[in-house]
Amino acid sequence: MRIMPETVEKYREYYFDTVKKLLLTPSPSGYYREVMKVVKELAEAEGCVFYLTRKGCGVITVPGRDRERAVGACAHCDTLGAMVRSVDSAGGINFTTVGGPSLPSLDGEYCTVITRDGRKYGGTFLSKSPAVHVYRDSGTRARDCDNMYVRLDETVKSADDVKALGIENGDYICFDPKTTVTESGFLKSRFIDDKASVACLLTAVHIMHDSGFVPETDIVMLVTMYEEVGHGASYLPRDIESMLGVDMGCIGDDLQCTEYDVSICAKDSRGPYDYEMTSALV
Protein backbone atom coordinates (compact mmCIF):
# COMPACT_ATOMS: atom_id res chain seq x y z
CA MET A 1 0.00 0.00 0.00
CA ARG A 2 1.52 3.30 -1.10
CA ILE A 3 0.65 6.41 0.90
CA MET A 4 0.14 9.33 -1.50
CA PRO A 5 0.30 13.06 -0.59
CA GLU A 6 -3.48 13.37 -0.82
CA THR A 7 -3.82 10.50 1.66
CA VAL A 8 -1.54 12.30 4.09
CA GLU A 9 -3.70 15.41 3.84
CA LYS A 10 -6.91 13.41 4.32
CA TYR A 11 -5.68 11.92 7.59
CA ARG A 12 -3.80 14.94 8.91
CA GLU A 13 -6.46 15.73 11.53
CA TYR A 14 -6.46 12.14 12.79
CA TYR A 15 -2.68 12.23 13.11
CA PHE A 16 -2.61 15.47 15.10
CA ASP A 17 -5.43 14.30 17.37
CA THR A 18 -3.52 11.08 18.01
CA VAL A 19 -0.13 12.64 18.63
CA LYS A 20 -1.63 15.20 21.03
CA LYS A 21 -3.29 12.43 23.06
CA LEU A 22 0.06 10.68 23.37
CA LEU A 23 2.08 13.80 24.11
CA LEU A 24 -0.30 14.96 26.83
CA THR A 25 -0.14 11.59 28.61
CA PRO A 26 2.89 11.30 30.93
CA SER A 27 5.14 8.31 30.22
CA PRO A 28 8.74 8.56 31.43
CA SER A 29 10.63 5.30 30.93
CA GLY A 30 8.97 2.52 32.93
CA TYR A 31 5.76 4.46 33.71
CA TYR A 32 3.61 2.81 31.08
CA ARG A 33 0.04 2.23 32.28
CA GLU A 34 -1.45 5.63 31.42
CA VAL A 35 -0.06 5.89 27.91
CA MET A 36 -0.59 2.21 27.08
CA LYS A 37 -4.27 2.63 27.91
CA VAL A 38 -4.39 5.31 25.20
CA VAL A 39 -2.47 3.14 22.70
CA LYS A 40 -4.74 0.16 23.45
CA GLU A 41 -7.93 2.17 22.86
CA LEU A 42 -6.62 3.57 19.57
CA ALA A 43 -5.42 0.18 18.31
CA GLU A 44 -8.56 -1.73 19.25
CA ALA A 45 -10.73 0.94 17.60
CA GLU A 46 -9.09 -0.17 14.33
CA GLY A 47 -9.86 -3.86 14.88
CA CYS A 48 -6.35 -4.79 15.98
CA VAL A 49 -5.34 -7.24 18.67
CA PHE A 50 -3.43 -5.50 21.47
CA TYR A 51 -1.66 -6.88 24.50
CA LEU A 52 0.93 -5.76 27.03
CA THR A 53 4.15 -7.66 27.60
CA ARG A 54 5.25 -8.32 31.15
CA LYS A 55 7.71 -5.50 30.60
CA GLY A 56 4.91 -3.02 29.88
CA CYS A 57 5.43 -2.68 26.14
CA GLY A 58 2.45 -2.69 23.79
CA VAL A 59 2.10 -5.19 20.95
CA ILE A 60 -0.35 -4.39 18.14
CA THR A 61 -1.12 -7.00 15.48
CA VAL A 62 -2.64 -6.02 12.14
CA PRO A 63 -3.97 -9.27 10.62
CA GLY A 64 -2.66 -10.12 7.16
CA ARG A 65 -3.66 -12.60 4.46
CA ASP A 66 -0.87 -14.98 5.51
CA ARG A 67 -1.21 -15.38 9.29
CA GLU A 68 1.85 -17.62 9.48
CA ARG A 69 4.25 -14.83 8.54
CA ALA A 70 4.87 -11.41 10.05
CA VAL A 71 6.88 -8.26 9.55
CA GLY A 72 7.38 -5.74 12.31
CA ALA A 73 7.69 -2.06 13.11
CA CYS A 74 8.62 -0.46 16.40
CA ALA A 75 8.63 2.97 18.02
CA HIS A 76 8.96 4.04 21.62
CA CYS A 77 6.42 5.83 23.77
CA ASP A 78 8.65 6.38 26.79
CA THR A 79 10.17 9.77 27.43
CA LEU A 80 12.84 11.41 29.49
CA GLY A 81 11.83 12.25 33.02
CA ALA A 82 12.92 12.38 36.64
CA MET A 83 12.26 10.70 39.97
CA VAL A 84 12.11 11.85 43.58
CA ARG A 85 15.49 11.18 45.19
CA SER A 86 14.84 12.79 48.57
CA VAL A 87 13.03 15.68 50.24
CA ASP A 88 15.01 18.39 52.02
CA SER A 89 14.18 19.94 55.38
CA ALA A 90 12.38 22.87 53.73
CA GLY A 91 10.14 20.68 51.56
CA GLY A 92 12.14 20.95 48.35
CA ILE A 93 12.41 17.82 46.21
CA ASN A 94 15.83 16.57 45.20
CA PHE A 95 15.64 14.49 42.05
CA THR A 96 17.47 12.01 39.88
CA THR A 97 17.02 11.79 36.13
CA VAL A 98 15.31 9.08 34.10
CA GLY A 99 17.19 8.90 30.82
CA GLY A 100 19.47 11.76 29.84
CA PRO A 101 17.62 15.09 29.77
CA SER A 102 19.57 18.30 29.23
CA LEU A 103 19.18 19.79 32.70
CA PRO A 104 19.89 23.43 31.78
CA SER A 105 16.82 23.28 29.52
CA LEU A 106 14.68 22.30 32.52
CA ASP A 107 15.43 25.38 34.62
CA GLY A 108 12.03 27.00 35.21
CA GLU A 109 10.06 24.18 33.57
CA TYR A 110 6.77 22.99 35.02
CA CYS A 111 6.36 19.37 36.04
CA THR A 112 4.03 16.90 37.73
CA VAL A 113 4.90 14.55 40.59
CA ILE A 114 2.90 11.30 40.50
CA THR A 115 2.53 9.31 43.73
CA ARG A 116 2.25 5.54 43.92
CA ASP A 117 -1.48 5.82 44.57
CA GLY A 118 -2.04 8.06 41.54
CA ARG A 119 -2.19 11.52 43.09
CA LYS A 120 -0.61 14.27 40.99
CA TYR A 121 1.01 17.47 42.19
CA GLY A 122 2.33 20.33 40.09
CA GLY A 123 5.78 21.77 40.55
CA THR A 124 8.65 23.66 38.95
CA PHE A 125 12.27 22.72 38.30
CA LEU A 126 14.47 25.48 39.71
CA SER A 127 18.09 26.29 40.33
CA LYS A 128 19.04 26.39 44.00
CA SER A 129 20.07 29.97 43.23
CA PRO A 130 16.88 30.90 41.39
CA ALA A 131 16.57 34.69 41.77
CA VAL A 132 19.04 37.21 40.38
CA HIS A 133 17.76 39.63 43.04
CA VAL A 134 19.06 37.37 45.81
CA TYR A 135 21.87 35.16 44.50
CA ARG A 136 24.98 36.53 42.83
CA ASP A 137 25.59 33.17 41.15
CA SER A 138 22.05 32.78 39.77
CA GLY A 139 23.33 33.08 36.21
CA THR A 140 26.47 31.00 36.62
CA ARG A 141 25.56 28.20 39.03
CA ALA A 142 25.61 24.78 37.41
CA ARG A 143 22.30 23.34 36.27
CA ASP A 144 22.59 19.73 37.38
CA CYS A 145 20.97 17.36 39.87
CA ASP A 146 23.11 18.65 42.74
CA ASN A 147 22.23 22.28 42.10
CA MET A 148 18.56 22.07 41.13
CA TYR A 149 15.38 20.98 42.88
CA VAL A 150 11.62 20.79 42.37
CA ARG A 151 9.43 23.32 44.16
CA LEU A 152 5.92 21.98 44.70
CA ASP A 153 2.80 24.02 43.99
CA GLU A 154 1.67 23.26 47.54
CA THR A 155 2.17 24.91 50.92
CA VAL A 156 5.01 22.80 52.29
CA LYS A 157 7.64 23.89 54.80
CA SER A 158 9.21 20.58 55.80
CA ALA A 159 9.87 17.04 54.63
CA ASP A 160 6.93 15.89 56.75
CA ASP A 161 4.61 18.28 54.89
CA VAL A 162 5.65 16.68 51.61
CA LYS A 163 5.28 13.17 52.99
CA ALA A 164 1.75 14.08 54.15
CA LEU A 165 0.87 14.63 50.48
CA GLY A 166 1.77 11.01 49.79
CA ILE A 167 5.01 11.87 47.99
CA GLU A 168 7.83 9.40 48.59
CA ASN A 169 11.28 8.63 47.23
CA GLY A 170 10.95 6.86 43.89
CA ASP A 171 7.87 8.75 42.70
CA TYR A 172 8.00 9.81 39.05
CA ILE A 173 8.39 13.45 38.04
CA CYS A 174 7.04 14.23 34.56
CA PHE A 175 8.02 17.27 32.49
CA ASP A 176 5.30 19.50 31.03
CA PRO A 177 5.35 18.65 27.29
CA LYS A 178 4.22 22.18 26.25
CA THR A 179 2.40 20.69 23.25
CA THR A 180 1.31 23.18 20.59
CA VAL A 181 0.14 22.86 16.99
CA THR A 182 0.69 26.14 15.16
CA GLU A 183 -1.68 27.66 12.60
CA SER A 184 0.96 26.94 9.95
CA GLY A 185 0.84 23.23 10.78
CA PHE A 186 3.96 22.75 12.88
CA LEU A 187 3.96 20.55 15.95
CA LYS A 188 5.99 21.97 18.85
CA SER A 189 6.42 19.84 21.94
CA ARG A 190 8.73 17.96 24.19
CA PHE A 191 8.77 14.23 23.47
CA ILE A 192 8.20 14.38 19.72
CA ASP A 193 10.97 11.82 20.22
CA ASP A 194 9.33 9.39 19.83
CA LYS A 195 5.60 9.86 20.30
CA ALA A 196 5.37 11.43 16.85
CA SER A 197 6.56 8.10 15.43
CA VAL A 198 4.08 6.09 17.51
CA ALA A 199 1.35 8.37 16.15
CA CYS A 200 2.63 7.69 12.61
CA LEU A 201 2.30 3.93 13.14
CA LEU A 202 -1.18 4.29 14.63
CA THR A 203 -2.22 6.54 11.75
CA ALA A 204 -0.96 3.94 9.27
CA VAL A 205 -3.11 1.34 11.07
CA HIS A 206 -6.09 3.71 10.86
CA ILE A 207 -5.56 4.25 7.12
CA MET A 208 -5.38 0.50 6.45
CA HIS A 209 -8.55 -0.14 8.45
CA ASP A 210 -10.41 2.81 6.96
CA SER A 211 -9.56 1.78 3.38
CA GLY A 212 -10.17 -1.95 3.90
CA PHE A 213 -6.57 -2.78 3.04
CA VAL A 214 -5.34 -6.21 4.22
CA PRO A 215 -1.54 -6.59 4.24
CA GLU A 216 0.18 -9.61 2.71
CA THR A 217 1.39 -10.82 6.12
CA ASP A 218 0.64 -9.90 9.70
CA ILE A 219 2.15 -6.61 10.78
CA VAL A 220 3.32 -6.60 14.38
CA MET A 221 3.90 -3.15 15.87
CA LEU A 222 5.88 -2.98 19.07
CA VAL A 223 5.47 0.16 21.18
CA THR A 224 8.32 0.12 23.67
CA MET A 225 8.70 1.83 27.03
CA TYR A 226 12.41 1.67 27.84
CA GLU A 227 14.23 3.14 24.82
CA GLU A 228 15.46 6.22 26.68
CA VAL A 229 17.30 3.97 29.14
CA GLY A 230 18.81 1.69 26.53
CA HIS A 231 16.71 -1.46 26.20
CA GLY A 232 13.62 -0.62 24.16
CA ALA A 233 12.98 -3.38 21.60
CA SER A 234 15.33 -5.88 23.20
CA TYR A 235 12.64 -8.57 22.91
CA LEU A 236 10.39 -9.50 19.96
CA PRO A 237 7.16 -11.35 20.75
CA ARG A 238 7.18 -13.78 17.77
CA ASP A 239 9.13 -14.75 14.66
CA ILE A 240 9.35 -11.57 12.61
CA GLU A 241 11.01 -11.55 9.19
CA SER A 242 12.10 -7.92 9.34
CA MET A 243 11.78 -5.06 11.82
CA LEU A 244 11.55 -1.38 10.88
CA GLY A 245 12.49 1.00 13.68
CA VAL A 246 10.83 4.42 13.53
CA ASP A 247 12.41 7.10 15.70
CA MET A 248 13.45 10.72 15.76
CA GLY A 249 16.36 11.16 13.34
CA CYS A 250 18.48 14.25 14.00
CA ILE A 251 20.05 15.69 10.87
CA GLY A 252 23.80 16.15 11.14
CA ASP A 253 25.36 19.34 9.78
CA ASP A 254 27.15 17.59 6.90
CA LEU A 255 24.42 15.13 5.86
CA GLN A 256 22.31 15.22 2.69
CA CYS A 257 18.77 15.44 4.03
CA THR A 258 16.88 18.18 5.86
CA GLU A 259 14.17 18.28 8.53
CA TYR A 260 11.63 18.03 5.70
CA ASP A 261 12.87 14.59 4.63
CA VAL A 262 12.73 11.11 6.10
CA SER A 263 16.15 10.34 7.59
CA ILE A 264 17.28 6.78 6.75
CA CYS A 265 19.97 5.67 9.20
CA ALA A 266 22.68 3.54 7.60
CA LYS A 267 24.41 3.30 11.00
CA ASP A 268 24.50 4.82 14.44
CA SER A 269 27.29 5.19 16.99
CA ARG A 270 27.16 1.46 17.74
CA GLY A 271 27.32 0.16 14.19
CA PRO A 272 25.48 -0.35 10.88
CA TYR A 273 21.86 -1.28 10.33
CA ASP A 274 20.62 -4.05 8.04
CA TYR A 275 22.11 -3.39 4.61
CA GLU A 276 19.28 -4.95 2.60
CA MET A 277 16.58 -2.96 4.39
CA THR A 278 18.36 0.38 4.20
CA SER A 279 19.09 -0.24 0.51
CA ALA A 280 15.40 -0.88 -0.12
CA LEU A 281 14.38 2.25 1.81
CA VAL A 282 16.75 4.64 0.05
Residue 46 designated active-site? no
Cα–Cα distance between 20 and 69 in angstroms, integer? Answer: 33
Q: Out of 46, 227, 241, 276, pick the active-site residue.
A: 227
Q: Count CB atoms within 10 A of the CB of residue 192.
A: 17
Distance of CA 28 to the CA centre of its chain: 7
Cα–Cα distance between 141 and 54 in angstroms, integer? Answer: 43
Indicate the pairing of strand 66-76 with strand 81-87. Answer: unpaired
Cα–Cα distance between 214 and 66 in angstroms, integer? Answer: 10
Cα–Cα distance between 195 and 22 in angstroms, integer? Answer: 6
**Dihedral-angle region of residue 212 (phi above 0 means left; psi in -120 to 50 means alpha; beta otherwise):** left
The dihedral through the CA atoms of 52, 55, 61, 66 has a sign that is negative
Cα–Cα distance between 91 and 74 in angstroms, integer? Answer: 41
What is the SS3 assignment for 13?
helix
**Dihedral-angle region of residue 196 (phi above 0 means left; psi in -120 to 50 means alpha; beta otherwise):** alpha
The count of residues in the chain is 282
Cα–Cα distance between 150 and 81 in angstroms, integer? Answer: 13
Cα–Cα distance between 22 and 194 in angstroms, integer? Answer: 10
Between the alpha carbon of residue 91 and those of residues 141, 151, 258, the distances in Å are 21, 8, 46
Catalytic residues: 227
